Chains A and B, each alone.
Chain A
Amino acid sequence: MSGAFLRLLEVTKRFDERFVIERVSLELREGEAMALLGPSGCGKTTVLRLIAGLETPDHGEIWIGGEQVAAKGRNTVPPRGRNIGFVFQDLALWPHLTVAGNLDFVLQSQRWERRTRRDRVDEALRMVHMSPHADKYPSQLSGGEQQRVAIARALVARSQLLLLDEPLSNLDSDLKSALLEELSVLQRRLNLTTLYVTHDETEAMSFADSIVRMKNGQIVEIVASNQAKLNASAKPILMTCEE
């Protein structure tokens, strides 16, 4: 096995006989930030859902942290066993739980001890500057604040792999830039292996070490971003383009 933290090998996914993802292969080193860029419907989100285990690949293999999690048309490790942080496009904050409750649910599900849970929730909320809002419900927060909570929830269990599905798409440009900067700082500080789905090229360039362009379910181009030029230590070690 190579030293990649995340590895997709010839992964294919069909819905109703239509190829959504076709023979996609890519690898991410630990701590690397990669952006998946492409128009709507090109299969970006499906790639994230396959990595998270929310979809089952028809062919190919998926490896996370040296462990095979999907192969031969089935998921060998369920989503809850993959230790992944996921920020959904619609954020998917649980409306009936408070901000702290949203984070605590993750830790409780992973059987963290009660005392450790409280400390960890506080720490995650501090990271995204949301400590004063711990007892509020999602509906009482602004769009940017909800975004921070979703990020904190993805980080709270100290997952090493962070998947972001167009997390900033509903924000205005000023807020988007500010949050993107914060996210970038967090990603580097926590050395998170991150896959960031977006259709905004500027966003991709400013956040990621490398950019993978997708079209019609296939990878068509791999480029190093501006960020990658600044941070020479983090480069993609393998990506293939299947035509």
Chain B
Amino acid sequence: MFVVSLTDAAGSLTLNNYRQLLTEPRQRALMLTSVVLGVGAAIFATVLGAPLGLVFARARLPAKRFLRIALIVPLVIPPYIMALAWVLLTGPVGLFARAAGRDFLSDWTYSLTGAIVVLGLTFYPLSMLATEAAARRVDARLEESALLAASPRRVFWRITLPLIGPTVAAAGLIVFVLALSEFGVPALLRVRVFTTEAFTAFAAFYDFGAGVALCAPLLVVALIVSVVIKFIIGERLLVTTRSMRLGLPLIFNRPLRAAILLGIAVVICASSLLPIAALLFEATRINRIASAVSTSGTAIANSLWLAFAGATLIVALAAVLGYGRARARSRLRVLFDPAFILLFAAPSTVVGIGIIGLWNREGLMGQVYSSQWVIVVTYIARFAPVAALMLAASVRQISTSSEEAAEVAGASWTHTFGRIVLPQLHTALMAAWVVSFIFCFGELGATILVAPPGESTLPVRVYTLIANTPSSEVASLALMQVGITIVPLILLTVFLPKKGARKPA
């Protein structure tokens, strides 16, 4: 990719693409919009997610398990569907405009602010989950010893918050990079950022060099942020243990508790109920569900099969990578995490262009490139790193003596890995498969670039239909996409063994 960005159409060496990037006012405006989008989404997601995480870690709430699942739902709805749902709600002919008899929200919807809100509502669960995990990890003894000298409020501000602060900041940075890398939301809400411009340069003008040069700033930012995240949270990236005892509880009086529950209800409404209701309303307004299924049946079947194959191969690869990361003794291990984060945070457009540059050649690679399998390769490139980090954290939970005992007993490495390590990881493998399936099933930005002619997935089909097909049919397909994505999440939650559950005799 990098080499191509340094050549012109005739194949001569040139820095022209990068010179334009730095000197043209249009490019500077793009940079400003991209950064404002990333920072805005990160702040929005943190302001919403961090307090929720703290509340879920330390406060008593009714139906906590259910509320947590409801709050996590936006994370499994592909961002571009969230944007589509908000267009159906607040667009010029959206539900609110129809109800009020006039369009008063579409200027806001198709704006940078609209994109920030949609991305913030999509990514706040990341901040919530990270904060909750950090608050649970705080050693209760640290807070208890401070309580001997200070009030609970002071302990909270001076001990608890500084301890969880780095994780909250790291989660904010991850949201920043994900928002900066997002293609579907700005594309649908007509916000021009680097990812949409790179897509246009590549897909509309076939200008590979300009497309790559437009990706360069995103890659640099992603790289810097990955290193900063690793620096801030270090090995905690792989620590999932909880403190033996929970620290200071958050105790609320009744009015405050009611206000918090109301706030949670509002967040659930805005982030998942309203968007899903908008899709449902639009899909059933003119019943297009049957026609949507019949005209997009191949895309739906493709998506299911490719996501299944992708998730399975990702988990197989991630199990080995994650094990290597967790057990690595080499000093090079400090490079693993930034590399994994960078690969995950790399914009989908960048990954798509990179895959084309790498696989579009003669021989076996070319055969893969011209088949459906290039989409599976894309899924692996995008999501294997995050699955590897998930599994590395779980490998850390297995005592090394468990493997040493097998080694002393005479087992080979492969025997130990297959019979001792993998069976103890079965829950994590299941979770990693479901997460990978959800990610693969919703992937749009890279798939839209690499999909061979005639091969389409559901997200690509929805995105390409948005411009020229009745919104009810698009809403039906989007609803199907959300439904298929939520089912595995619910199954995972239901069938995931509870902590401390014993195996049957």
B412 cross-chain contacts in A, Cβ below 8 A: 80, 109
Which chain B residue shows the least CB distance to A49? B404
Complex interface: stretch among B86-94, B97-105, B157-165, B417-425 = B417-425
Q: Contacts A80-B410, A105-B419, A157-B410 known; A92 to B404 CB distance under 8 Å? A: yes
Q: Is A191 an interface residue (CB 8 A)?
A: no
| B420 and A94 within 8 A (CB) | yes
A126 and B419 alpha carbons, distance in the complex (Å): 25
| A109 and B406 within 8 A (CB) | yes
Q: Can you give 22 contacting A-B residue pairs, CB < 8 Å?
A: A52-B404, A52-B408, A54-B407, A79-B404, A80-B409, A80-B410, A80-B412, A81-B410, A82-B408, A86-B404, A88-B401, A90-B399, A92-B404, A94-B406, A96-B424, A97-B423, A105-B409, A105-B419, A106-B409, A109-B412, A137-B503, A139-B502
Q: Contacts A96-B423, A135-B505 known; A109 to B409 CB distance under 8 Å? A: yes
Q: Is A110 an interface residue (CB 8 A)?
A: yes
A53 and B163 alpha carbons, distance in the complex (Å): 39
| Among B401, B411, B426, B503, contact of A92 (Cβ-Cβ < 8 Å) | B401
A106 cross-chain contacts in B, Cβ below 8 A: 409-410
If A78-B407, A88-B404, A153-B405 are given as contacts, then 11 extra A-B residue pairs at C-beta distance below 8 Å, sorted by A number, are A54-B407, A79-B407, A79-B408, A86-B408, A88-B405, A90-B401, A92-B402, A96-B426, A105-B406, A139-B503, A157-B410
If over half of B's interface residues share one DSSP class (helix, strand or loop), that class is named, otherwise mixed; here it is helix
Which chain A residue shows the least CB distance to B503? A137
Q: Is B327 an interface residue (CB 8 A)?
A: no
A84 and B408 alpha carbons, distance in the complex (Å): 7
Give the one of B399, B404, B405 with max A CB within 10 A: B405
| A80 and B407 within 8 A (CB) | yes
| A95 and B505 within 8 A (CB) | no
| A80 and B399 within 8 A (CB) | no
Q: Is B415 an interface residue (CB 8 A)?
A: yes
| Among B401, B404, B410, contact of A109 (Cβ-Cβ < 8 Å) | B410
Please list the 9 inter-chain residue pairs (A to B) with the smallest Cβ-Cβ separation, ordered nearest first. A92-B401, A109-B411, A106-B409, A80-B410, A109-B410, A92-B405, A110-B410, A96-B423, A88-B401
Q: Could you tell me the distance in whole angstroms from the C-beta of B227 to the nearest C-beta in chain A?
A: 24
**Binary contact readout A93-123 vs B (1 if CB under 8 angstroms, 0 otherwise):** 0111100000001100110000000000000
Q: Could you tell me the distance in whole angstroms from the C-beta of A209 to the nearest C-beta in chain B?
A: 24
| Among A53, A54, A80, A94, contact of B402 (Cβ-Cβ < 8 Å) | A94
**Binary contact readout B366-397 vs A (1 if CB under 8 angstroms, 0 otherwise):** 00000000000000000000000000000000
A52 and B424 alpha carbons, distance in the complex (Å): 24
A92 cross-chain contacts in B, Cβ below 8 A: 399, 401-402, 404-405
B412-462 residues with Cβ-Cβ distance < 8 A to A are 412, 415, 419-420, 423-424, 426
A54 cross-chain contacts in B, Cβ below 8 A: 404, 407-408
B221-251 residues with Cβ-Cβ distance < 8 A to A are none
A106 and B408 alpha carbons, distance in the complex (Å): 9
B419 cross-chain contacts in A, Cβ below 8 A: 105
Q: Could you tell me the distance in whole angstroms from the C-beta of B403 to the nearest C-beta in chain A?
A: 8
Number of interface residues of B (CB under 8 A): 21
Interface residues on A, range: 20 to 34
A157 cross-chain contacts in B, Cβ below 8 A: 409-410
Which chain A residue shows the least CB distance to B411? A109
Which chain A residue shows the least CB distance to B401? A92
| Among A80, A94, A137, contact of B408 (Cβ-Cβ < 8 Å) | A80
A97 cross-chain contacts in B, Cβ below 8 A: 423
Give the one of B410, B415, B420 with max A CB within 10 A: B410
Give the one of A89, A94, A95, A157 with max B CB within 10 A: A94
Give the one of B409, B411, B412, B426 with max A CB within 10 A: B409
| A109 and B415 within 8 A (CB) | yes
Q: Contacts A105-B419, A109-B415, A136-B505 known; A95 to B406 CB distance under 8 Å? A: no
Which chain A residue shows the least CB distance to B425? A96
| B404 and A137 within 8 A (CB) | no
A80 and B420 alpha carbons, distance in the complex (Å): 15
A41-61 residues with Cβ-Cβ distance < 8 A to B are 52-54
A187 and B382 alpha carbons, distance in the complex (Å): 56
Which chain A residue shows the least CB distance to B415? A109
Q: Could you tell me the distance in whole angstroms from the C-beta of B103 to the nearest C-beta in chain A?
A: 60
A82 and B407 alpha carbons, distance in the complex (Å): 10
Give the one of B406, B412, B423 with max A CB within 10 A: B406
A105 and B424 alpha carbons, distance in the complex (Å): 15
Give the one of A82, A92, A140, A153 with max B CB within 10 A: A92
Which chain B residue shows the least CB distance to A88? B401
A18 and B90 alpha carbons, distance in the complex (Å): 66
A110 cross-chain contacts in B, Cβ below 8 A: 409-410
A76 and B405 alpha carbons, distance in the complex (Å): 19
| A105 and B411 within 8 A (CB) | yes
Which chain B residue shows the least CB distance to A135? B505
B426 cross-chain contacts in A, Cβ below 8 A: 96
Q: Contacts A80-B410, A109-B410, A157-B409 known; A95 to B424 CB distance under 8 Å? A: yes
Give the one of A88, A97, A157 with max B CB within 10 A: A88
A153 and B420 alpha carbons, distance in the complex (Å): 15
A123 and B351 alpha carbons, distance in the complex (Å): 59
**Binary contact readout B305-331 vs A (1 if CB under 8 angstroms, 0 otherwise):** 000000000000000000000000000
Which chain B residue shows the least CB distance to A137? B503
A80 and B406 alpha carbons, distance in the complex (Å): 8
B502 cross-chain contacts in A, Cβ below 8 A: 137, 139-140
Give the one of A53, A82, A96, A157 with max B CB within 10 A: A96
Q: Could you tell me the distance in whole angstroms from the C-beta of A75 to the nearest C-beta in chain B?
A: 12
Which chain A residue shows the least CB distance to B409? A106
Which chain B residue shows the least CB distance to A101? B419
Q: Could you tell me the distance in whole angstroms from the C-beta of A150 to the nearest C-beta in chain B?
A: 9
B407 cross-chain contacts in A, Cβ below 8 A: 53-54, 78-80
A140 cross-chain contacts in B, Cβ below 8 A: 502-503, 505
A136 cross-chain contacts in B, Cβ below 8 A: 505
B402 cross-chain contacts in A, Cβ below 8 A: 92, 94
Q: Could you tell me the distance in whole angstroms from the C-beta of A191 to the nearest C-beta in chain B?
A: 20
A79 and B405 alpha carbons, distance in the complex (Å): 10
A110 and B409 alpha carbons, distance in the complex (Å): 7
Q: Could you tell me the distance in whole angstroms from the C-beta of B317 to the nearest C-beta in chain A?
A: 23
A139 cross-chain contacts in B, Cβ below 8 A: 502-503
A110 and B404 alpha carbons, distance in the complex (Å): 15
Which chain B residue shows the least CB distance to A110? B410
Q: Could you tell me the distance in whole angstroms from the C-beta of B328 to the nearest C-beta in chain A?
A: 16
A81 and B407 alpha carbons, distance in the complex (Å): 9
A95 cross-chain contacts in B, Cβ below 8 A: 424
